[in-house]
Amino acid sequence: MNRLLCLAAVAVVALPVAAQPPAVAPTSLVLGDQFDRKADLADLRGQVVVVVYGDRKATDACRALGEALHVCWHPDAKGQPPAKAQAAPVVPLANLKPGQASPNVAVVPVACCGKVPAAIQRIVRNQIAKASPDAVVWLDFADTLKTGFGQTAGEPNVLVFDATGTLRMKLTGAPDQTAMDALVKTVQALRVEAVK
């Protein structure tokens, strides 16, 4: 049923973005990942980016939400191992000009680990790398998301950035069906906006 709602919402092409108005400038968000590499929102420009984040108690809920959102725009990812799921093609937009590519939707999981010493950070990275060797997880060791965007403890939180890296929507706490519908419509509208 959720898949049908998701696909029905994705099929809607020309919806207005019912989210926050664009900020003056793109958001700067630079973290690291579980492999100790730089993770920068700016590297995802051209894509609509959905950041799903939460604390340790929210891990399972964030994973489920992130996977559901990824499958929403990459239906061939359903039931696939992580590496194959990440490579699934995005649902194309209708009415594109010949040769025009459909903007991708990048769903980025972020583990909010809190401020911990460097030695503990190394342990956390190793644990997450073992648990998620094929899907990149951004790590927040400075409470960047909690401080900058708000965070409901124990629940998934969501940020949506347009193709320029500008924050367009924020959800703190587990989204209900109304919030999920708004999220899906906003992301789809931002994909359309990106090709205009």
Q: For residue range 103-125, what is the model confidence (pLDDT) as tens digits? A: 999 999 999 999 999 999 999 99
Which residue did the predictor score with more confidence, 148 or 196?
148
**Distance between CA atoms of residues 196 and 181, nearest Å:** 23
Task: Answer yes or no: is pLDDT of 80 > 90.
Answer: yes
Provide the pLDDT for residue 11.
34
| 164: Cβ contacts below 8 Å, ≥ 6 apart | 22, 26, 45
Q: How far apart are the first and last CA of the chain?
A: 32
| 27: Cβ contacts below 8 Å, ≥ 6 apart | 41, 161, 165, 166, 167
Provide the pLDDT for residue 26.
87
Domains of the chain: 2-194 (3.40.30.10)
- With left for phi above 0 and alpha for psi between -120 and 50, is residue 60 left, alpha or beta? alpha
Could you tell me the pLDDT band of residue 24, with boundaries at 50, 70 and 90? low
Q: For residue range 86-105, what is the model confidence (pLDDT) as tens digits? A: 999 999 999 898 889 999 99
Provide the pLDDT for residue 115.
93
* Length reported for the chain: 196
Q: What's this model's pTM, rounded to 2 decimal places?
A: 0.88
Sign of the Cα pseudo-torsion (185, 188, 190, 195, in order): negative
**Distance between CA atoms of residues 91 and 73, nearest Å:** 5
Provide the pLDDT for residue 25.
74
Provide the pLDDT for residue 7.
40
Q: For residue range 6-23, what is the model confidence (pLDDT) as tens digits? A: 543 333 322 334 444 554
- The mean pLDDT value of the chain amounts to 89
Provide the pLDDT for residue 138.
98
Provide the pLDDT for residue 185.
97
